[in-house]
């Protein structure tokens, strides 16, 4: 059950607009975002964490190894369409 919003719970949101004045997004100050995350725990899943340099390098090394295995005939490749569907 959600806690009702009272006068002190009003958030200071900013509407982001494009050059034509069309609303394209909302800016939520970090303090209010943290409060929302406390109230609605599922919001954590929406946050994107930038991969570290080490993670990117590790994934690239894995990809190169897989490509070598495909070239050697030790691993079956899959169509590009399937790869895109995984994204």
Mean pLDDT of 69-86: 86
pLDDT digit string, tens, across residues 9-59 = 677 889 999 999 999 999 999 999 888 889 998 888 888 889 999 999 999
Neighbours of 16 (CB within 10 A): 11
- pTM value is 0.43
- In angstroms, the Cα distances linking 72 to 16, 55, 69 are 51, 26, 5
- Cβ(26)–Cβ(13) below 8 Å: yes
- 77 — pLDDT class (breaks 50, 70, 90): confident
- pLDDT computed for residue 9 by the predictor: 63
Confidence of residue 8 (pLDDT cuts 50, 70, 90): low
pLDDT reported for residue 4: 46
- Spatial contact of 29 and 36, defined as CB atoms under 8 Å apart: no
Distance CA 28, CA 12 (A): 7
């Amino acid at each position: 059950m959600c806690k009702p919003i009272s006068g002190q719970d009003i958030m200071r949101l900013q509407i982001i607009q494009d050059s034509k004045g069309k609303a394209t997004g909302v800016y939520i100050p970090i303090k209010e975002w943290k409060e929302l995350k406390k109230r609605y725990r599922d919001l954590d899943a929406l946050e994107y964490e930038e991969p570290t340099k080490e993670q990117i390098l590790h994934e690239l090394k894995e990809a190169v190894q897989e490509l070598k295995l495909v070239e050697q005939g030790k691993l079956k490749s899959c169509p590009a369409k399937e790869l895109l569907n995984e994204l």
